[in-house]
């Protein structure tokens, strides 16, 4: 006579894909933490336990030339309310004296800098024109290069010596797509390609000093300006997935990723900095 089989008991342990505060004690600067990828990375770093300095030009009562409502104060509030530690400091990264003062302040207080993420001017509206290079309007070319490229050089210049002194650290340049080619216009093409090439060149210079650098691309980003441009919000962004091919590719046939907009949770789990610890 067959014996009665009892159901196998399975222990169910909640799955948490992120180690608990793996970056506790880490000091990070996110330049351009006001919105978009910069805000998302700042929140991820705060969630992972880092102390995050959020810099940019947009503060409460003093928006940048983008004329958008987001501020670095709002970013730090999101991080602090979630249990992290974040400090907002207004810095125009095209002004070298302001950048120098920022890193001098951090070095004086913490004697270290572990992570620099530079997402300045990723969505600068001056780069918004689209067309062949012989049709380009060049009136803002110098301002574009100062805001979106020179600012990155200034920022890395003053961050690197702190990392070199400790023989550890990670610099992340946020750019666009994973190709050397870029679209839009000759200014945006030059900026996006240059950020990748600078990371490549600087990697060779920094390697003997124990400092890592990489360029990353967020892909088709569900940012504030993207949602606004498509006339949707986080609550109903799935409707855009039915109309825009890129949304379908990234989020799967209109079924949108429902995690909060700015929480790319796994970005730094296996970063060179984590592996150096």
Please name each of the domains of the chain with its CATH number.
27-223 (3.40.50.720)
Q: How far apart (Å, rounded) are the C-alpha atoms in residues 239 and 243? A: 7
pLDDT for 1-11, tens place per residue?
A: 555 555 444 44
Confidence of residue 262 (pLDDT cuts 50, 70, 90): very low
Q: How far apart (Å, rounded) are the C-alpha atoms in residues 224 and 42? A: 15
Question: Torsions phi, psi of 71, nearest 5?
Answer: -140, 160
pTM: 0.80
Q: HSE of 241 in the Cβ direction (CA atoms, 13 Å)?
A: 19
pLDDT for 113-161, tens place per residue?
A: 999 999 997 666 777 788 889 999 999 999 999 999 999 999 999 999 9
Least confident of 108-112, 235-239, 258-262: 258-262
* Helical residues (DSSP H) of 49-171, grouped into ranges: 72-81, 96-110, 141-145, 151-166
């Amino acid at each position: 006579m067959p014996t009665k089989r009892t159901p196998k008991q399975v222990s169910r342990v909640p799955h948490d894909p992120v180690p608990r505060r793996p970056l506790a004690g880490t000091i990070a600067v996110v330049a351009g933490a006001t919105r978009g990828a910069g805000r998302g990375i700042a929140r991820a770093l705060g969630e992972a336990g880092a102390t995050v300095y959020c810099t940019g030009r947009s503060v409460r009562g003093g928006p940048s030339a983008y004329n958008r409502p987001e501020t670095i104060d709002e970013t730090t509030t999101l991080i602090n309310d979630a249990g992290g530690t974040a400090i907002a400091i207004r810095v125009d990264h095209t002004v070298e004296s302001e950048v120098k003062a920022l890193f001098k302040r951090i070095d004086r207080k913490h004697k270290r800098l572990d992570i620099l993420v530079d997402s300045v001017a990723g969505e600068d509206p001056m780069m918004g024109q689209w067309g062949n290079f012989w049709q380009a309007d060049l009136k803002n070319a110098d301002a574009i290069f100062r805001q979106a490229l020179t600012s990155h050089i200034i920022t890395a210049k003053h961050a690197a010596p702190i990392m070199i002194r400790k023989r550890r650290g990670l610099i992340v340049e946020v750019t666009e797509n994973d190709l050397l080619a870029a679209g839009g216009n000759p200014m945006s093409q030059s900026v996006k390609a240059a950020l990748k090439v600078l990371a490549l060149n600087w990697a060779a210079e920094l390697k003997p000093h124990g400092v890592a650098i990489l360029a990353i691309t967020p892909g088709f980003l569900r940012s504030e300006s993207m949602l606004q441009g498509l006339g949707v919000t986080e609550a109903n962004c799935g409707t855009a997935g039915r109309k825009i091919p890129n949304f379908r590719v990234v989020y799967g046939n209109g079924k949108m990723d429902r995690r909060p907009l700015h929480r790319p949770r796994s970005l730094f789990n296996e970063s060179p900095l984590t592996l150096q610890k």
